[in-house]
Structures are given as C-alpha cells and as structure tokens.
Amino acid sequence: MQQPEIIPHLFRTEFRKITAVLCKRFGMENVNIAEDIASETFLSALEIWPYKGLPENPTAWLYTVAKNKAKNMLARNEVFHRKITPFVQAETPEGQEPDIDLSPENIADSQLQMLFAICHPSIPAEAQIGLALRILCGFGIDEIATAFLSNKETINKRLYRAREKLRAEKVAIEFPPESEIAGRLQPVLTTMYLLFNEGYYSESSDEVLRNDLCLEAMRLTDMLIAYPPTNLPDVNALLALMCFHASRFKARRNNNGEMVLYHNQDESLWNQELISKGAWHLSKASTGDRLSKYHFEASIAYWHTIKEDTAEKWENILQLFNQLLMLEYSPIAALNRTCALSKVRGNETAIMEAEKLQLTNNQYYFTLLGELYKSIDPQKALENLQQALALAKTQADKQVIQTGINNLTRAKD
C-alpha cells in the first residue's frame, strides 16, 4: 500500500481501537479526550511520515505515539489529572508509569466492552448505534447521517446528548451481566448490520464496495461469536448473511472498477470458502426457538449463492421474503420481494405489486420497474430508467442505469 493510501486505511482500522482502549482506561466520561488523543496521533503521522518516510511498522508507531500522548496528557492536563489520577494510582504501583495496554487481547476486549457500554438502555437505540458507528467503527458524521437518512446537525446533537447521558449515568466500560446480554445485544447487531451495509453499498463515498468496512463488521461479529455469552443464534445468522454477501466481492466489480449486477457476475469468482463458512453459521443459527430478520435475510442470501434460475430457488426466496415482511415490514424488503415474485409469477404480477409501493423518491423503485417493463412496454421501461437516473446518487449506479437506457434506445432504433 502506497504512503498516500496507508494513513486513511490505518485511520479506519486503528482509530477505533486506540479510542476503545483509552476509553476503557479513562472511563466513558472522558470519551472526548480519548478521541482527541487518537486524532492527534494520526495528525502526527500526517506531519511526520511524508518527510521521514513510513516507519517499518506503521501500526506499532501509532500505538507508541498514542501511549506517549496519553501519558503526557496525564502529566500536563490539570483537569484530566485531577479526575483520572486517583483511579490510575489505585491500579499503578508508586514510581511506575500508568500502562496503556494496546495488546491485541486488550484491544478486542475493549472494543466489545465499549460496544456494550455504548448500547446502554439509558439512551435511545438510534443514539446507541450512532455512537458505536462513530467511536468504534470510525464513521464520519456524514456517513452516519447517510446511514440514518438524516443530516449532520441532527446527528451531532444526538451524539452529544447520548454522550452526556452516558457520563451522567456513569456507565462502566465492561461486559454486562449475562442476564442482561440478550436485551443489550440487538443494538450491537444493528450496528454491525449497518456497518456491513455501508461497506457493501456505500452512498456516502461513491464507491462500489468498501471492503474495509465489510471486513471490520465481520471481524467484530466474529468477536461476538468468540465470546461465549454472545455466541447466540441471531449473531450466527448475521455473520452468515455477511459471509454470503462477502463471497461475491470479487465478482461485483469488473476490471474498470464498475459495478457488475448479480445476473452478470462470473460465478467462478465467488469465494466458496466464505459460502461454506456462511452455511456453517446459518446451521448454528438454527438452534433455539426464535427467528430474527437476520435468519431470513441470511437464508435469502444463501439461495443467491446458487446461480441457476431454478423454480425451487425463486419460490424459496419468495416465501422467505413473505416471512421476513410478516416479521418486520420494510418498503425496501417489499420492493426486493417483487424481483422474486417476477421469477415465480411473471413480470405483470410483479409490476402491479411494485407500483402499489409508490416509492417515488427511490431510484431502485424506478430501476426495478424499468427492468420489469422491458419485455412488456419498452417505452415505459425507458421512462422509468430515466427517472431512476435522475435520482441516482453514485457514479456506479448512474453507469448501470445509463447502460440500461442505452440498450433500450438501441433496441428501439
């Protein structure tokens, strides 16, 4: 990885780790100070690396600088010193410097404990998810606003109120008692789900795929499974869903970096190891007496790892969408269901169902109608694709839609 690329990459992967460890060491009430130290560490890298060159181990360099900055702040910041020193002295023998443990084990524990601390019942679920995305996943405010279909001002206010509430409640950064884990787990899973989705299809950065976000979501979900009290069916179902989608990463982009739609993908590029891992976790998710939306979405994704357009495949996908919508209705899931409906009942039936949704501010609504109308009314297909193009946010989407428009125009000529 070249020098201009490595700092943003390390910021995405290491900022949250440094922040989590410092928050655990200094307490939730000092989360802003932890973030400041982590930010200053990366500013130092931006100032030093372009002139002195990359250190032999950039990650270790960042950890060393972060440790030193934390220790320096302990020494020089009177307010911080007064709040933290009694706690630090209680754990640090006299004459020794306070330890900032950035070992892999402590990073892993700190991140999971921070997830549960952030997802505390004293703050609303959306604020829990927003804070986790900000502190532990390195999301910018713009990215969080996109994930919540909101704006920067609203997100900033929400995060500020959530932090103040956690400070007031003096929430400890630790694993909750096992009796509380089930109730605290859902916002954590939602955070992982949103993180993966932002990587799999990013509207905030105009990229076809952001592997780092998807892999981070999978890594954190794997950590939840490695911790026995959270090795639960919902968690396994979510990881299965991620594995099935991640198995097609290489096939989703062509050599020019352009998006390749599912029906045009080269099946030989699909990662069979990830498909097998997904199937294993989906099997593990079948225990227990409760089905979550992740179970149904993972099962739908599993059937998409079978490329052949068989009647069995699409009938199963349709029935899974029906069950998903009964469990948790979503207009987007209802729209996606019409794709399966077209395969089972035909395009005319699917068009009637899709048009009932009236998602007239959604580009995918018009893209789908454009595809469904192609064999029935090419002019209507063209009109719908043109509306989709007007609503498209990313260059990747615009390219795909424009290709569809060009194909229809050539066919008419």
What pLDDT, on a 0 to 100 scale, did the predictor assign at position 291?
Answer: 93
Q: How many domains does the chain have?
A: 4
For the ranges 170-179, 338-347, 390-399, the one whose mean pLDDT is highest: 338-347
3-state secondary structure of 199: helix
Do the beta carbons of residue 327 and residue 321 sit within 8 Å? no
**Is the same domain home to 66 and 126?**
no
Last residue of a domain, one of 44, 61, 93: 93
pLDDT tens for 385-412 read: 999 999 988 787 888 899 999 988 887 6
Place of tokens 């699917």: 350
Farthest CA pair distance, the chain:
85
- Cβ burial 150-184 (10 Å sphere, 16+ → b, else e): eeeeebeebbeebbeebeeeebebebbeeeebeeb
Amino acid type, 366: F
Task: Determine, yes or no, domain membership for 277.
Answer: no
Residue ending a domain, choose from 231, 251, 272: 231
- Looking at the fold, whether 373 and 346 belong to one and the same domain comes out as no
The full 3-state SS of 261-299, as one line of letters, equals CHHHCCHHHCCHHHHHHHHHHHHHCCCCCCCCHHHHHHH
Q: What average pLDDT does range 317-327 have in this prediction?
A: 97
| pLDDT value at residue 222 | 93
Residue 118: the pLDDT is 87
Same domain, 63 and 171: no
Residues 140 and 215 in one domain: yes
pLDDT grade for 76, boundaries at 50, 70 and 90: low
Same domain for 85 and 176, yes or no, is no
Mean pLDDT of 194-203: 76
Q: Are residues 107 and 204 in the same domain?
A: yes
Mark whether 338 and 368 lie in a shared domain. Answer: no
Confidence of residue 83 (pLDDT cuts 50, 70, 90): low
Last residue of a domain, one of 216, 231, 246: 231
Select from 183, 171, 99 the least CA-distant residue to 131. Answer: 171
Domain of residue 223, residue span: 103-231
Residue 353, helix vs strand vs coil: helix
